[in-house]
Structure 1
Amino acid sequence: MKIKRQLRIFLLLVVLIPLVAFATIPINRRLAAQGVSFEKLICISLLVASVIELACIMFTIHISSTISKSITFLQRSTKRIADGELARPLERRKSHRGENEITDLIVNLDKMRLTLLENDERRKRFIMGMSHDLRTPVAVIKGYLEAIDDGVVSGEKEISKSVNIILNKTRQLEAMLNSLINFVKLETTEQKNNLHLQPLLPIVQEFAESSINTGKIFNRNVQAEISLSPDTKVMLNRELVLRALDNLYSNAQRYTKDKGVITIKAEETETEAKISVEDSGIGINDKDIQFIFDIFYRASNSRTEPGHGIGLSVVKNIMDSHGWKIDVKSQVGVGSNFTITIPKRDLKA
């Protein structure tokens, strides 16, 4: 039984005591008129009051016991989470009679447990990915420096060639660290919360024009289909939104072959606006779809391509900071489609 319901019954019983006392007054008068002694009247009143008071005491004990057991149950569950036991689901009360507002918190606690478990897995993947990606250029730099120091690499041309390789790997390492720093900044600064009401059309047009020009340079056929009202305004951070869109285009270009098609679409309805970047590239395996927004994750069919696995993580982070949604549909050998959905509550005309 819910604690609120138990308290209502308890309060009802408490209120009944004076009501019963008042109700017995005319009864006592009638009994007195019939010649019933005063002592018997007192006994009857005390008996009625005692029965109600006993019921109140029993309810008080029951409520106290229910709350105590529920708090103990809740304390045991929270201790498991505090101790880091995230893999095992929290206990649930099997009997409906033992459920109340306190034990209902277990449902929310279990959701929190799953979130913590997911974050812990992401952190582990983050560390493993970072270690793997940083280890490669460091190992190359170390190898060439040791070769030069040991005299394995000798001669001016060989040393110059080795130094150039070391410089390239150093630049690669620097680019990776800068990408990582920018990602962390996006997580920790207030920049993502700096949203202003701005027209959506000029931002999408700027992105589309830039993508078309870039596509010409890299031999990609970039098309734009924009159907947005110039009066539509959205709460957004212009810099971050452009960064997210640029990351989506860079991703599409990287995995689309020469003369491949990349289509940028923007449209709106009465309930939402959608911006999509579609390519005719290599596509994404079904098993990789759920992980592609995790930092440092590289899809199995894209590991031969250059990249650090940070771009899509940044996109997802920016979408989350705006309260927008991003979906991906993909088919291996056909291409991928990333769609950003801006809900109606964010649209103002």
Structure 2
Amino acid sequence: MKAHKKDHTTQLINVGGQNYLTLLGRAYPTGERVWSSAIASDTGRIQNEFLGWMIVIGVGSMLLSLITINAMVRRIVRPLLQLSEQSAALTADTLNQDSIPEMTAAPKEVRQLAKTYSELIERLALSWNDQRRFVSAVSHELRTPLTIVQGYLHRTIKRSKSLSDDERRGLKTAEEESIRMRMLLDDLLDLARGDSGQLQLNQEMVDLEELVGKAADLSQSHLTDHRLEVVNNIPNHETSDALADPDRLQQVLFDLIDNAAKYSAKDSLITLVLNPNKHGIAIDVKDEGIGIPESDLPHIFNRFYRGKNSSESSGTGLGLSVVALMISAMGGQIHVQSKEGEGSCFSIILPKLTSSTISR
């Protein structure tokens, strides 16, 4: 027997080539001691088995926890993501269309949140519909008396011979303001009709070369401090006919030309260009004005939106939204390209008249 290690309570001994770990159990006053022993190899095996089971239990517990947490997170987060996506896609036009799906698998708190959100959308839709009806009714009621006032002012200016220069200038200013207010009411009425699906157009074949030239001539008569030029890039063997409402399209061109003049210096050039396009025919309205900041371009056709560099010019921010509404109703598209300080180009693309459109 050989002792490898010794202390007061434990001792590792070797008997016949086998290691034993001894532990002092009790010591008597007589000097006798009681020891217990165990094969050292067995202790190592037990420890290894214990460590192995601890690893298995630990990994299993972690996997079970991950599965449980993942299920709980999916159950809570997925409905919240649905609400977030619907909120991001919500617009005035989709208030009455988008409904919140049933979330029966979601926790009670999330279901309550979805219910509250759905009720909020319903209230917003009701409020928006009331606003549309109010704007439409007020615009319609105010349009007639404004037209009458404008007519009386115009006749008074033309027929009265006893007016002083100051009185004539005052009446002329009142007439111009009444015209501006009537045009604003017309824009509000068009937007209200578009929102309610009641905007009516008279679609027909239109010679764009003739219409653009007429719009340029009429605009030049009152834009005496700007130069207007019409360029026709349509090949001779192709027609410049397109499908549109001629009156509405002419008004759109007036609005774009006036907008170009408003943000351009005196004596600057405004160019109307007819170009062939794979989707039809394009009408470009180009100016040499202050341009539009890049950050404003995605929002330029939104209602009441005005560019950051337009603070010095009057306006309501409705003109371009009405233009976009009209072009869309004609089945066309409108795009804008601009660089601040270098001018802007508004491109209207109208579909050509084809046999399929004629059959409809």
The alignment's TM-score, normalised by the length of structure 1, stands at 0.49
Larger strand proportion, structure 1 or 2?
Answer: 2
Larger helix proportion, structure 1 or 2?
Answer: 1
Larger Rg: 2
